[in-house]
Amino acid sequence: MTDDYEWAGPNANIAKVLDKYCYGASRPPFALMLDGAWGCGKTWFIKRFFEEKQKNRISDKELGMIYVSLYGIQDAEEITKAIYAAMHPILGGKIGELGKVVFKGLLKSTLKIDLHHLENGKADLSAVLGIPDNTGNKDRIFRNRILVFDDVERAKMPVSDILALVQPLVESHEDRVILVANEKDIAADSEVERDRYDRVKEKTIYLSLHLTPDIERTFKKFITENKKSILISFIEENKEYIYDLIIKSSCNNLRVIDFFKTFGEDILEYTYKEIDNIVCARNILNVLSILYGVIIENSINKNTFDDLHHIMLFDFNEKFAKDIFSDEYYENIKEKHSKIREKPYFPMMKDQQNTVRIMYQFIKNGILNPDERSYLSNIISNEIHIPTYKKIHSYQQYDKNEYDRLLEEFLEEFHELNVQDDYELIKMCDIYLMLARLNISPFNEEPISTLETYIKRHFKKRLFNQEKDIEAYVDRIFLNEHSHSLMYIERGSESFKEILLFFSKEKNHFIKINVENYVKYKIKKEKALELLGMIKYNNYNYLTENPFLNKIDPSYFLEILNDLIGYSRDMAFSTLNHRFKQSQNTSNPLHPEKEWFEQLHQKLIELINHKHTHPLHRETLKRDALTLYDRIKTT
């Protein structure tokens, strides 16, 4: 290739420097390093560079590149074997079968390489590859070769030793050596070796070129060089969206795109149906966006599904997250949230948490089970049912038949009573009142009494008769509060206020008769501390006004409190103190907890006075007792 060598993209200057180093008239007696983070495209770049040189070669000397990965390499002899394998791939792959003696013979007869130089601790790669010896003998000269050593930081031998082996090669002015590495990881766990590496590097490497991830070129390669498939065809049609997703996700690890292709192919193979409208195409883009986000969060950011679930909980209600998480974990989730909230895939993750869960399982197991396939297929084909209250709330111009069918659907859903939480229940009432206000039959016939019956049926249906009932919706009932959002169309009307008041009364009644089951459920799930966090605020009246602590064994309660430290522990006992004072009043609804607090106090005193209690722990328990009861009695 001529001097006007060109390379597009952010690494064009690096390509020019490589071209000059490998094929220029001046050959500096040093090696060159190509540096970059894991997954930034270093291997792809160096291989593509020499592929382009081979296609556009001027002379055969430009074909002299040997690529060797040093991953796991332990000594100079293994480097030599790897070089031989790269030059003679058919025989090189059979070294183990030929045996060491035969292998040495092959090296000596073909490359004039004699492995006796490696014996007795002598590991001079220049001698092995035939640099002239002291007598000037050049029979074994390894000439005009370009050696590319990749994965340098992953070699098991010290990198400083690798550089010491490389130095005689480049000093000959006849061979070029390119080291490919993530330099910050070289000897990262040894200051001594890192210092030695820095000293040897100064004598061996004259340039360290830092590679920038070439996302645009990688994306084009992703589309043009892959075999046509459902995924590639779909991405070609929506390449601006996908490219924007990749750019705004700010992930410089290009391997993510390869992972995305692998898993994306499988998803569309399992779930793809004929796309006959814009909605289906948008649904596919949403699913693929969630997949891309999960790959980044799981593989790059090391976030588990539970982490992501808690990040979403933090996003929804930061105050509640602070209550239920330890201080350290809360700060961790807060930091993670600050990093992910601006990512283009996060809003879709929040809207489709079940899809997120499926994606995590998929990239963990490598396969979708039939239920997961069906779910994603329905998401994509828009067959997942959209509640009619949403359709009516955002009403579009339907024809008369479609309008009548929509009202019939709403009425059917109203009678089926399949709402998932408080918001959906109130929203159904909201839409019902709007239809009544518009004088649409049958909604205009005694709407208040109809909705009161509807709410009563809802809570009657939710009685915790079986374990599966609790698992299905327990936290939706106990932790959920209906939103006071502007999303309610009738929010300012007297009828809506009347229904809200009735709903609050019915829910409080429901909670009162079911709180014992809820507490048992939380204890069984080892989440009793969540209950303590909730009673710090008046948001959950069913816990601040209904006795439930007396349902928990005092000894067990002290055990879980013992897991708290610092501020969290002080706040827990301060909260209990407030509740303890209320329990002393015979007219207070929390009075049934009075005896429980006495038992808890007795358990604390027993621990304080126990002969095996460490003095430091005893002091902590004394502070707990003082905070809780404003007094302490010890025997």
Dump the DSSP string for 227-281.
PP-HHHHHHHHTHHHHHHHHHHHT---THHHHHHHHHHHHHHHHH-----SHHHH
45 and 184 housed in the same domain = yes
Residue 333's pLDDT band, with cuts at 50, 70 and 90, is very high
Residue type, 296: I
Classify residue 628: in a domain, yes or no: no
Per mean pLDDT, which range of 74-83, 132-141, 169-178, 279-288 is the poorest?
A: 132-141
Report the Cα 421 to chain-centroid distance in Å: 28
- Does position 195 have pLDDT exceeding 50, yes or no? yes
Q: Are 382 and 390 in contact (CB under 8 A)?
A: no
DSSP 134-182: TT---TT---S-EEEEE-GGG-SS-HHHHHHHHHHHHHTSS-EEEEEE-
Q: Which residue has the tokens 């003998």?
A: 137
Residue 559 falls inside a structural domain = no
**Quick one: 314 and 173 in the same domain?**
no
Residues 91 and 203 grouped into a single domain = yes
Residue 98: predicted pLDDT:
37
Mean pLDDT score, 61-69? 74
pLDDT beyond 50 at 90: no
69 DSSP β-pair partners: 150
Q: Considering the chain, what is the average pLDDT of its residues?
A: 77
State how many domains the chain has.
Answer: 3
Q: Which of 384, 402, 436 is the last residue of a domain?
A: 384
Structure tokens at 499: 């229904």
Question: The dihedral of CA 138, 142, 145, 149: what is its sign?
Answer: negative
d(CA 36, CA 24): 24
Q: Is the pLDDT of residue 617 over 90?
A: no
| 177 and 227 belong to one structural domain | no
> CA–CA separation, 183 vs 159, rounded Å?
10
CA 484 to chain centre: 32
Structure tokens at 43: 């291997």
User: Do 155 and 224 belong to one domain?
Assistant: no
Q: Are residues 461 and 519 in the same domain?
A: yes
pLDDT tens-place string over residues 420-464:
778 888 889 999 999 999 999 899 899 999 999 999 988 887 665
Residue 383, token pair as written in the block: 């067959």
308 close to 349: Cβ distance less than 8 angstroms: yes
Torsion of CA 42, 43, 49, 55, to 10 degrees: -160
Q: Report pLDDT for 535.
A: 61
| DSSP conformational letter for 381 | T
- Do 306 and 190 lie in one domain? The reply is no
Q: What is the pLDDT of residue 433?
A: 94
The DSSP element (H or E) to which 197 belongs, if any, is: helix 191-204
- Answer with the one of 525, 547, 578 that is the final residue of a domain: 525
Indicate whether 366 and 478 sit together in one domain. no
Does residue 9 sit in helix, strand or coil?
coil
pLDDT at 475 over 80: no
d(CA 119, CA 116): 5
Residue 517 within a domain: yes
CB 212 within 8 A of CB 10: yes
- Structure-token match 């000037």, residue found: 136
In a domain, 410, yes or no: no
Residues 86 and 196 in one domain: yes
Is 594 within the bounds of a domain?
Answer: no
Q: Which of 481, 501, 525 is the last residue of a domain?
A: 525
Percent of the chain with pLDDT over 90: 14
The parent domain of residue 509 ranges over: 417-525
d(CA 481, CA 98): 74
Per the rule left: phi > 0, alpha: psi between -120 and 50, beta: everything else, 39 is: left
pLDDT for 394? 59
Q: Are residues 274 and 423 in the same domain?
A: no
Tens digit of pLDDT for each residue in 376-427?
Answer: 888 787 655 567 777 776 555 555 666 788 888 889 889 888 787 788 888 8
For residue 576, give every residue at least 6 positions away whose Cβ sits within 8 Å of its Cβ, in sequence order, or none: 532, 597, 628
Burial of residue 323 (number of CB atoms within 10 Å: 0-12, 13-18, 19+) = buried
**Rounded to the nearest 10 degrees, how much is the dihedral formed by the CA atoms of 203, 205, 206, 212?**
-150
Q: Is the pLDDT of residue 117 over 50?
A: no
CATH code of residue 44: 3.40.50
pLDDT level of residue 122 (50, 70, 90 thresholds): very low
Establish if 631 belongs to a structural domain: no
pLDDT at 227 over 80: no
Torsions phi, psi for 483 (to 5 deg): -75, 145
Report the C-alpha gap between 492 and 434 in whole angstroms: 12
Amino acid in position 530: E
- 516-540 residue pLDDT tens: 777 777 777 777 677 766 665 444 5
| Lookup: tokens for 285 | 């883009």
Residue 17: inside a domain: yes
Query: Do 204 and 323 have their domain in common?
Result: no
Same domain assignment for residues 130 and 242: no
Q: Record the tokens describing residue 233, joined without a space.
A: 């065809």
266 inside domain: yes
Task: Work out the percent of the chain whose per-residue pLDDT is above 70.
Answer: 76
